[in-house]
Amino acid sequence: MTPIRLLLADDQSLVRGALAALLGLESDLEVVAEVGSGDEVLPAARLHHPDVALLDVEMPVLDGITVTEQLRRELPQVRVLIVTTFGRPGFLSRALAAGAHGFVVKDTPAAQLADAVRRVAAGLRVVDPTLATDSLIEGRSPLTARETDVLRAARDGASVAVIAGRLFLSQGTVRNHLSAAIGKTGAANRAEAVRIAEDRGWL
């Protein structure tokens, strides 16, 4: 039987190495590529032709959700399994919308992770049950696309003028979007709104 070819993408080399070692013990799984940043995934996938790409969400240069969109667009035969420390419901819904076929957390037991890889390779969808429940309870992000953009631009504490310049918006428009985002997140200020949105995986 031809083994399932895997690409691993995680910016933590210890985690990447542990995943490779664990999955490599399975006779029907073969790790063909390992990368440490999001921008390396697509070139590695073109070169090594994996069946399944295991992606972390938080990676340098490009995050796992953006990479998932790239793979769906350019190499749709590669199926994506998100394997992340960040078990946030918002990440789950965004990942599935981007085209991921599975979403599990890193503390998933090795045997379950290997089984998740097999199921995704077979065309099935695999989602951590606790995250799925949390996602249903919390629902989708209440933020509009523009409110999300403005909160992302506010992450580093930038002034309204700087955010306006980054997004090519007027300062009044930025203030309106920040005010709306603060209201929707139930925050006291924009810094808290950013933190709440990040915690829920909306950014």
- Which residue has better confidence, 203 or 50? 50
pLDDT score recorded for residue 139: 59
- Would you give the DSSP letter of residue 102? E
Contacts of 44 (CB under 8 A, 6+ apart): 7, 9, 33, 35
Q: Which tops the pLDDT comparison, 131 or 38?
A: 38
Give the pLDDT confidence of 131-180 residue by residue, as tens digits: 665 555 555 778 898 999 999 999 999 999 999 999 999 999 999 999 99
* Residues 58-88: tens digit of each pLDDT: 899 999 999 999 999 999 999 999 998 866 7
Pick the CATH number of 4-138 from 3.40.50.620, 3.40.50.720, 3.40.50.2300, 3.40.30.10: 3.40.50.2300
CATH 3.40.50.2300 region(s) of the chain? Answer: 4-138
Instruction: Supply the pLDDT for residue 136.
Output: 54
User: What per-residue confidence (pLDDT) applies to 138?
Assistant: 59
Cα 65 from Cα 80, distance rounded (Å) = 10
Is the pLDDT at 127 greater than 70? The verdict is yes
Residue 82 in 3-state DSSP? strand
Residue span(s) of the chain under CATH 1.10.10.10 come to 145-199
> What does the mean pLDDT of the chain come to?
90
List the Cα angle 40/41/42 in 5-degree steps.
Answer: 100
Residue 89: C-alpha distances to residues 65, 75, 104 (Å): 13, 26, 11
What is the average pLDDT across 192-200?
88
What tokens were used for 203?
């950014």
Q: Please say if the pLDDT value at position 42 is more than 60.
A: yes
Highest CATH level, class, for 145-199: mainly alpha
Q: Which residue has the higher pLDDT, 39 or 106?
A: 39
